[in-house]
Amino acid sequence: MAKLNLVENAINRLVPTEVNGKEGIPFKGVHKYTPQGKKASPKIFSANQYPLDGNKVLKSLRDAFEFCGIKDGMTVSTHHHFRNGDLVANMMFDVFEEMKLKDLMWFPSASFPCHIKAIDLMEKGIIHHIEGSMNGPLGDYCTEGKMKGLGVLRSHGGRWQAIQDGEVKIDIAVIAAPSADPFGNANGVNGEAACGSLNFALADSTYADRVIVVTDNLVPFPCIPWQIQGNNVDAVVVVDKIGDPSKIVSGTTEITKSPDRLLIAQLVADFLEKTEIMRDGFSFQAGSGGISLAFVLFLKEKMKKRGIKARFVRGGSTKYLVEMLDEGLTDYILDGQTFDLKGVESMRDNPRHIPTSPFTSYNYNGKGFFGTFVDAVVLGATEVDVNFNANVVTHSDGRLLHGIGGWQNCLFSKCTILAVPAIRDRIPVIVDEVTTLTGPQELIDVIVTERGIAINPLRKDLIEKTKGSGLPIRDIRDIQKEVDEICGGKPKPLKRGEEVVAVVKWVDGTILDSVFKIG
């Protein structure tokens, strides 16, 4: 890779001025950058180019790629609704090999360990690079500097933004669909591989020039709901099996049993109660992690006791959120993805369980998004620093470990709470400076650990509200000091290389931080 020119952005992070041949705009500060220009515009087609009987089914994925005019150097996208149970991206990789393609850019909404074959294709020059979250073996491959292009990590909202703004032009989108009709209408609520919604592929279906739907459950037109509209689809391919149901959604999602983590969850619920953020008509978002699930149960008990009803709960949904909806504790679930079977069933059957797309919930370069007025959000982090910056993509060893997901987008909530253990694997989580800055300090309001709650000094209102509340409010540096002592000192500073291997984008398309080569 040619040596990149690095500049300091508004938060003093070194970022490249060019990313995979395109200009990189350094982060300007939260709410400081306003894009100019017009939205991406895919090609216009005509009904005279498609079968008038509405049957777009082609014999094989290869036929579909040929119909769509696949060529060396193109960008091909997939979605990650099947998580580690996806079989379709691998079928696609096989076609790429068979067709002897070169220099493709793979643009998944997220990658998983099941996609390890992509490494083989990168080694062979078939895939040039990946833009999308990378973890496990793909994360290592990137962090070790083996990928030809830069990794580009985007939030769910940032991925919509990048597509919408024409920053990433998808030539061909491949959409694995648990249910589809021959015209290409598709959904994720029915079929063996049911995963809930398909909305991580909505931008792809809207802005890609060409769209291929792959299904193992072809139904007669119309496939309802049509989360993906056949009018955007070029070809439909029927295969035996598109995903492994046991890895797509779990039958159950597990609540933490760790006493420390249960304590954190309890403190978060207490915090929302004492600050009166929990009040009639409020809204909140919690993820699918063990702490989040426990928090939901604790909060639910408080809501029942006080007769409080939420206006909406933001999912990733689990059976715990579904129970809240069923018990009348919230008017709606606004759901970005379903994490268990109860979530899928509820989305299918309950008209108050609403699938949302990254456009609706997360897209920053638009006319607002509802993430800015969710009353409270409870998130995790791999590291937080004493200035309330946070990291979610690498650990202290500098290796890419997680995608950003909706994490950056959620930070805009009226009260953003990071619920994290103060120590993880005997390493302090509160550090002087985060390894990779993924979330800027002014958006992170509260850090809840098993050793106390730290409130961002910018949030004088929350500090005021919690005075005399009995909550264990502490200075973040006190918690850090206590933890450092337990762990026998601060974590060792990372010996990182000089070479940038990936960038972390901010929600507006600017570059927030770089990931450097290690090893």
Q: How far is the CB of 363 from its own copies (least distance, A)?
A: 7
**AA identity, residue 411:** L
Distance CA 371, CA 361 (A): 6
Phi-psi group of 184: left, alpha or beta (phi > 0 → left; psi -120 to 50 → alpha; rest → beta): left
CB 393 within 8 A of CB 504: yes
Give the closest residue to 264 by CA, choosing from 445, 471, 449. 449
183 vs 388, which CB is nearer to its own copies?
183
What residues have CB less than 8 Å from 94, skipping those under 6 apart? Answer: none
Distance CA 331, CA 293 (A): 19
40 vs 476, which CB is nearer to its own copies?
40
Distance CA 360, CA 376 (A): 18
Helix (H, G, I), strand (E, B) or coil at 246: helix
Is the C-alpha dihedral spanning 467, 468, 469, 470 positive or negative? positive
Q: How far is the CB of 41 from its own copies (least distance, A)?
A: 4
How many CB atoms are located within 10 Å of the residue 70 CB?
Answer: 20
User: Beta 104-108 vs 127-130: how paired, if at all?
Assistant: parallel
221 vs 474, which CB is nearer to its own copies?
221
What φ, ψ does residue 478 adopt, rounded to 5°?
Answer: -65, -45
Q: How far is the CB of 498 from its own copies (least distance, A)?
A: 34
233 vs 324, which CB is nearer to its own copies?
233
Q: How far is the CB of 370 from its own copies (least distance, A)?
A: 6
Q: How far is the CB of 70 from its own copies (least distance, A)?
A: 17
Q: How far is the CB of 310 from its own copies (least distance, A)?
A: 11
Per the DSSP assignment, residues forming a β-bridge with 214 are 176, 237
43 vs 495, which CB is nearer to its own copies?
43
Residues in the site for its own copies, rule: CB under 8 A?
31-54, 56, 164-165, 183-184, 211, 220-222, 224, 226, 229-234, 281, 311-312, 332, 334, 351-352, 354, 359-360, 363-370, 372-373, 412, 508
43 vs 100, which CB is nearer to its own copies?
43
CB 9 within 8 A of CB 511: yes
Q: How far is the CB of 215 from its own copies (least distance, A)?
A: 17
118 vs 211, which CB is nearer to its own copies?
211
43 vs 305, which CB is nearer to its own copies?
43
Residue 390 tokens read as 């946070």
127 vs 334, which CB is nearer to its own copies?
334
10 vs 354, which CB is nearer to its own copies?
354
Q: How far is the CB of 157 from its own copies (least distance, A)?
A: 10
CB 480 within 8 A of CB 430: yes
Residue 193 tokens read as 């591989």
Q: How far is the CB of 499 from its own copies (least distance, A)?
A: 32
Q: How far is the CB of 281 from its own copies (least distance, A)?
A: 7
Per the DSSP assignment, residues forming a β-bridge with 105 are 75, 129
Distance CA 482, CA 485 (A): 5
What residues have CB less than 8 Å from 269, skipping those under 6 apart? Answer: 295, 298, 299, 302
Helix (H, G, I), strand (E, B) or coil at 79: coil
